């Protein structure tokens, strides 16, 4: 029974990995922008499902008695574990390099920062004006 579950995971996880990497870069806006789930969708899910793909494939090969290439595991587990750690920190709010973020997210964040600066300038100008009046 567990072999069937590992096989299903081996088939489903690579598809979810590809979807979680490509889909956020194809869309131009998302309802999850600006929420905690944004960080999960962009930084935590892709490496998690990639790692799950490799682990489930190795378990299926082991259950079927086929030799699992050790070099493949070494070359994929390391970078995916590193991306998992980076994704964890990004999910906690640590800034990530721009190439890991879709272009529309970078542009939207830039607009949001500019809007906050504009509101701050207006608030300071209003405070100075009120200070001069009194």
Mean pLDDT for the chain overall? 84
Instruction: Summarize the confidence of residues 55-64 as an average pLDDT.
Output: 87
The answer to whether residues 92 and 43 touch, using CB atoms and an 8 Å cutoff, is: no
Instruction: From residue 70, give the alpha-carbon distance in Å to each of 20, 61, 63, 106, 108.
Output: 26, 12, 16, 38, 43
pLDDT digits (tens, 9 = 90+) for 71-116: 887 888 888 888 888 888 888 878 888 877 888 888 888 988 999 9
What pLDDT does 134 receive? 66
Residue 13 or 33, more confident: 13
The reported pTM is 0.70
């Amino acid at each position: 029974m567990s072999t069937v579950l590992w096989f299903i995971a081996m088939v489903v996880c690579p598809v979810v990995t590809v979807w979680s990497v490509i889909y956020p870069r194809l869309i131009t806006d998302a309802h999850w922008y600006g929420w905690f789930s944004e960080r999960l969708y962009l930084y935590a899910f892709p490496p998690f499902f990639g790692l799950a793909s490799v682990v489930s494939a190795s378990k299926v090969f082991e259950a079927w008695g086929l030799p699992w290439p050790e070099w493949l595991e070494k070359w994929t587990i390391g970078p995916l574990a590193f991306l998992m750690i980076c994704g964890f920190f990004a999910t906690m709010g640590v800034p990530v390099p721009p190439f890991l973020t879709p272009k529309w997210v970078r542009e939207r964040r830039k607009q949001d920062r500019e809007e906050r600066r504009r509101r701050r300038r207006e608030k300071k100008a209003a405070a100075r004006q009120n200070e001069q009046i009194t």
